[in-house]
Structure 1
């Protein structure tokens, strides 16, 4: 579809009303991650099945990761509107079924359905914004979308706790239904687009190979070092499936008439650098989200509420800086704004290297806020510049590819930094055994996260455990700083964009 045709259809579109519908839809998908985490203890208490606890989250992440890019390509072929509506319908169907689940296994299966729909929501919403607004307007609107994620990170845990306290946990899923319906109605009525009536060529084989390869990779990253050893037959087999599937996918994309992911998109230096920096910043974000609450609770000895505060500051810094980035790219340009984001990520990582129990949660919260500032400056700059560097026919897949890189970065970061933590803790455990102490083991480390069990520990055992966990998490934060430096280095290679 030509840019002229897109502009013509945009004249019929009620942009403020469509934006409101998109924000509601984005909030629906964004809050799902944080609200479920709060309710999980109640869900496990009701359904049992603690052994598959992690798969309630992993199943959702897996399906979101493997479908994001596919939905992006389909939106380029058939238009944003039908693909968005299909995604929301699938998401709402999964939400309804999740609330009706009677076993943990059923819940995991229904979370797969929910993730299958969620893969369409964020990338298509962002792509529609790219279609409706000019580059100057996009920079500001992306700040609003980033605010949705920040607000959901703060509101999600509170709302989840409120629902399980005064109602049935099923409503954490069922509350999506009215939100999704409102979002769909707004897009159906007020969003108009003209899609050329030509025969569409769908890359079924490429999509299937991508699905298989990325599914194998995500399972490796989720299960490796946790449920299965890295050298186990299961992990080695899945790694083989990923490598073979990825090679066949690349081969197929060079042959396909309308490839699912046009490989030529990687020839664009701007897109390549932005996606690589998004991958590493995604690793940094998940490392902070996963391990900072543990440090504040287990090492510093504060409550879960205080731990949540230290993490919420990142969610506050992100939307604020994303909004500021919208103005900065117009004043100083994309490259300087991206570099500022890289600097903030590097500084944030460095602050965590110097984190110790004596500095307290306020220092941890400030450090988290600085990382959020870096995420907001860089992510907004990347997505707006990517959308401005491609035409309508590739904007969907280009936008989705950037989202996909963040998801893969999160999964990769959790695996790598989790591996660093486990390796350091195992080393400390072996050292304690060698020194004739049996205080430190995996079960006693878990006691640090339970206030009742922690209070029963002898004073010398408590101090030794906290020191050991602090040492292990310090290694994680060094890794976090290294990832921040890599992200900063990548922003230095971000090309200068001549504003038209």
Structure 2
């Protein structure tokens, strides 16, 4: 009886699905330290690159005279990451995780080099898209590899380090971008080459996992190319529609917006039909999405990353456009949200490791997220530094706790079928990246539409002749597209326009609160499983014998 009880306490985890055993992937000693360091560097580069361009956009716009395309420097990168994350996970089972992550780093570095050498806006955007393709692989496979090299009972420590790296990368980007913008913006991309090269060198030299079994020629046929096309095109077109809707070049009834949203939704629906009914090798196997607790974890992470990125972007807008800071100081003022996120990640990770609890931490993070986002409504044009710091702490705590707990919940909730853990991790990462991309686009959409309506309504009731004259001379559209023109206006006009901007930013926080509420609701339906104390790989040979009998 005691032996039976002991056996039940051992957590079973799926093997890789490529013919190798779970235990074959583990490494230790100095090799573990070097590989984890390489993985963290790779993730830092990928996350940092999403925000490093924020502070150099004006310089690039002036250099290439392409303000109307400037949004694509961020959108192109995020679109490529979000649309291919799921594909990289499936591809890694076929070609192996080492080759997959090596290819990701190389593609990312090629894209960075193209950006650094760009002599036109189109070339720069193209480089960003290529870098995003590699970045999608990094964001997907770094977590997959970290999952494989550490037993699940010790994986909390690895995910804790990865979560801290993700939080740091999001704020280091603007800081480094602001520093490089003072002498040469191209170094924002050149920097990826030596750092990425170091990561690649460490990985190639030390990381030698067992090769997937079978012939590569036969396994390439196991990739669902049609499903990949449908999922990628659907994701890209829906995000494009949101991007078009938030720009001042397209209206809601424009052909560009309508065609993207309609074709994008149709492609997404077709992917679901194909993937779950007809595909021989589905990109997202049904046994993955049939685990409802895993679906709840993915939704929680998607919503959390949505408000996390939305807050990052429009708190930066608040500091730069309303408070008049440069990119460097704007990044410094985001430190309260990052520091609180890092500290809460450490505390949450230690609590999970000691007690095993995951779901209660995620629910607590959801509650703090709703309260923290709602408190951001209190930000004003003239808010003091102390008040700002206080208001940024709770959203940071929520993000830190949620990143840590949901990453582990996706692991313990994964099905036991071959490749289950890898594909569950990939689905989780896909949700995170899509959440960040959608949250960013929805935030921009909310802000731009709010500003247009709020500004026009306020202008109708404005009686100050100085304000009316300034607005008439510079033009409403010019101010909406380039807030740096504010410096040329009379102080009274600046105060008027900043007040309308502040109301629009608060509307973004309203949207963030809605996403935080969604994360809270979804967190309730997550798995009750704890971090296991002991684990082993599923004995597939015995399972097959039992099925045969």
TM-score (norm 1): 0.91
In 1, Cα distance between the equivalents of 2:152 and 2:82?
Answer: 27
How far did residue 40 of structure 1 move?
2.9
Q: Does 1:131 align with 2:154?
A: no
Q: Give the structure 2 partner of residue 323 of structure 1.
A: 346
Correspondence for 1:469 among 487, 501, 504: 501
Contact 2:118 2:124 in 1 (8 A): yes
Q: Give the structure 2 partner of residue 426 of structure 1.
A: 452
More RCO (CA 8 Å, sep 6+):
2
How far did residue 450 of structure 1 move?
5.2
Aligned alpha-carbon RMSD (Å): 2.5
Q: Give the structure 2 partner of residue 341 of structure 1.
A: 365
Q: Give the structure 1 partner of residue 112 of structure 2.
A: 95
1:484–1:255 Cα change, 3 Å = same
Select the structure that is richer in helix.
Answer: 1
Q: Give the structure 2 partner of residue 16 of structure 1.
A: 33
Q: Give the structure 1 partner of residue 490 of structure 2.
A: 457
Q: Give the structure 1 partner of residue 422 of structure 2.
A: 396
In 1, Cα distance between the equivalents of 2:137 and 2:42?
Answer: 11
Which structure has the greater CA radius of gyration? 2
Deviations 1:386-412 (A, max 9, x none): 123335613333222222222222332
Alignment of 1:346-357 (within 5 A): 346-357=370-381
Q: Give the structure 1 partner of residue 236 of structure 2.
A: 215
Alignment of 1:361-376 (within 5 A): 361-376=385-400
How far did residue 444 of structure 1 move?
4.7
Correspondence for 1:491 among 523, 530, 535: 523
Q: Give the structure 2 partner of residue 192 of structure 1.
A: 208
- Structure 1 residues without counterparts, runs of 5 or longer: none
Correspondence for 1:148 among 165, 169, 172: 165
In 2, Cα distance between the equivalents of 1:184 and 1:304?
Answer: 30
* Aligned pairs, number: 496
Q: Does 1:268 align with 2:291?
A: yes
In 1, Cα distance between the equivalents of 2:104 and 2:269?
Answer: 29
Q: Does 1:311 align with 2:334?
A: yes
Contact 2:310 2:439 in 1 (8 A): yes
Q: Does 1:251 align with 2:273?
A: yes
In 2, Cα distance between the equivalents of 1:120 and 1:286?
Answer: 20
Moved more, 116-125 or 311-320: 311-320
Contact 1:123 1:396 in 2 (8 A): no
In 2, Cα distance between the equivalents of 1:297 and 1:61?
Answer: 22
In 2, Cα distance between the equivalents of 1:75 and 1:370?
Answer: 37
SS in 2 for 1:135: coil
Deviations 1:179-237 (A, max 9, x none): 22222222222223222226421111111111221121121121123132122122111
Q: Does 1:412 align with 2:433?
A: no
SS in 2 for 1:136: coil
Correspondence for 1:7 among 23, 33, 38: 23
Alignment of 1:285-300 (within 5 A): 285-300=308-323
